[in-house]
Each structure stands twice: as structure tokens, then as C-alpha cells.
Structure 1
Amino acid sequence: MNEPLSPDLLRKMHAYWRAANFLSVGQIYLRDNPLLQEPLHLKHVKPRRLAIGARRRG
């Protein structure tokens, strides 16, 4: 495929990328209301970020 992407395909890929990032961030940072069905409040946000890959002591 040596042709540049069509504007329509580029728009669709960008929308997919935004949706995937939105869902990922919602799973990581939001405790309640991950799809933002109501206005975002501080109570919806997790108190601390997940430590993925952190080593356990002991």
C-alpha cells in the first residue's frame, strides 16, 4: 500500500484512537462513572494511580 490514507479513513482511525485512549484512561483513573454519564466529580477519581509492574517487598 503506497497510497496515502484517504481523509475519511484517516478521520475514522483518529476517532478509533481517541475512543481507545478514552476507555484506557477511564479504567486507570476513574473509580465510578468511567463513561462520564454524569458530570465528572472528584469522588469519581481513584485516590492514587495503579502501580503496574511494581515489585513487592518480601
Structure 2
Amino acid sequence: MKLCLAGKSTKEVGEELGIRTELVRRWKREHEQYQEGSFSGHGNANMTAEQIALFELVIV
């Protein structure tokens, strides 16, 4: 993601890393939507701060 934020296009990043451009685009969209909550890994759902607050209210 840092490469895209540094000004490289998703196409350039994909070519540099040897991965499909669409994958880089998807990662970029996810990062723009969730910021620090993106790329949680291990099948964990990505949630916005509001969603986390609502989840905590329901669980507690």
C-alpha cells in the first residue's frame, strides 16, 4: 500500500510485485475504506470504528 500512497499507479505496483493489477486495486479500496482496520487477516471481518462500537455494545 505504501507504494500506491507514494504515487505509483496500481498498474506499476502490480507489475513491480508480479501480481494482478486488480488485486492491488482491491487492496487499495479496502485500505481507503477501513484505514487501520484493513487487512485484519485470518478470516476476521474488517469493521469500521462505528461497527466495532456497535459490536461491543451488543456483546457486553
Same fold? TM cut 0.5: no
TM-score range, shorter chain: 0.3 to 0.5
For normalisation by structure 1, the TM-score amounts to 0.34
Higher RCO structure (Cα 8 Å, ≥6 apart): 1
Which one has the bigger helix percentage? 2
